[in-house]
Amino acid sequence: MPTLQWATAGESHGPGLTVIIQGIPAGLSISEEYIRQDLARRQGGYGRGGRQQIETDWARFRSGVRHGYTMGSPITMLIDNKDWENWQEVMSVSPIERDLNTVTRLRPGHADTTGSAKYMQSDVRNILERSSARETAARVAVGALCRRFLEEFGIQIHSHVTAIGGVHAGVRYPVDWAAVEESPVRCADPEATEKMVAAIDAAKEDGDTVGGVIEVIATGAPIGLGSHTQWDRKLHARIAQTLMSINAVKAVSFGLGFGGSEVRGSQAHDVIKPVDEWTDEGRPDGWVRPWQRRTNNTGGFEGGMTTGEPIVAQFAIKPIATLSKPLPSADLISGDEVRAHYERSDVCVVPAAGVIGEAMVAVCLVEAMLEKFGGDHLEETRRNYRAYLVTTGPRGRE
């Protein structure tokens, strides 16, 4: 059984979203206000649609937390959909006699066609309600809880936008995270920010949408999370799968990514520093990270395991499928040519997708940490973690 289990439930215009998480140790301090910070970040970003003006996402704990601390029992969070009051008849659990404007015009690029065929539906709404990106609000709530756990071990996760609509940012490392959060498109490059906003505006005027690229960076993870022993234990593969599960994601890479195929091995691999070149880097626990590298071309992974260097993952978001000037399509019932269905939507979701990416990476890292260190209480996990750290240096120096 996995050390961390979680699931989400709920539809875009239903009463709300539900999250159940099992496996978080007891003793972790957490609050609804903390979860709200990431939910608010997900709702922001230039190019979002009218739905974000309606909702103020707030995850309410309904189990597993008492007096500000986790109890070790399953944690339940509920996120209400304020828009539900306008959809109670359309989304009614009980049968409705009158016609409710059945959706039959299929959208190219959405789950409409494949989902309706697979589940033998005659109303696309039975597919689009769950395949909506609204579900990612629940994922961000899970990710925020995991982020709080990782903070106890000095692990930080950030993201920034590196491209939107063909506009590419000039990326400088270390990234100025304050500048990222101040940017309307979550990009640290002010010149690129202006061009990205212009690209979003142009797409909106044309009734179109734009995609982009996000980079997620996690620092502070110890060496050795994941494993080389089985395909499904390789941590970078698990992170890639969770990032690919985000709506509209079509590509994932780590470090140099595809660029690594264009250079020689002498330029691709990360040289290991001798022990006298290791630096403290100001970790709060005083632990000096062993086996430091002169570069990080692999994005923090070797053999499916963390190297101790920052985890650097990029993922690409295609333009979303709902266009205000819909594409030609076909009708689900008649098969006749029609214009695709349009429902209130965004022009660009790339800035918000970065927050979702952070959440997915956080979940994977917590899974790996609990798999490695266990613990029914946070203090037990900490003890196991500290005991492990002293074993990771050169064998002759133990």
Pairing of strands 5-9, 69-70: unpaired
- Domain 5-397 sits in which CATH superfamily? Chorismate synthase AroC (3.60.150.10)
pLDDT at 2: 66
pLDDT at 212: 98
Q: What angle do CA 210, 212, 214 make, to 5 degrees?
A: 150
**What is the rounded CA–CA span in Å between residue 315 and residue 240?**
9
Beta bridge partners of 121: none
For residue 99, give the amino acid letter. Answer: D
DSSP string, 92-108: -SS---S------BPPT
What are the tokens at 150?
């990782």
CB 83 within 8 A of CB 51: yes
CB 44 within 8 A of CB 5: no
Per-residue pLDDT of the chain (398 residues; tens, 9 = 90+): 668 999 999 999 999 999 999 999 999 999 999 999 999 999 989 987 655 556 689 999 999 999 999 999 999 999 999 989 989 999 999 998 887 789 999 999 999 999 999 999 999 999 999 999 999 999 999 999 999 999 999 999 999 999 999 999 999 999 999 999 999 999 999 999 999 999 999 999 999 999 999 999 999 999 999 999 999 999 999 999 999 999 999 999 999 999 999 999 999 999 999 999 998 875 656 778 899 999 999 999 999 999 999 999 999 999 999 999 999 999 999 999 999 998 877 999 999 999 999 999 999 999 999 999 999 999 999 999 999 998 998 875 54
pTM of the model: 0.95
CA 320, 325, 329, 330 dihedral sign is positive
Beta bridge partners of 59: 79
**What is the rounded CA–CA span in Å between residue 36 and residue 355?**
12
**What is the rounded CA–CA span in Å between residue 141 and residue 238?**
20
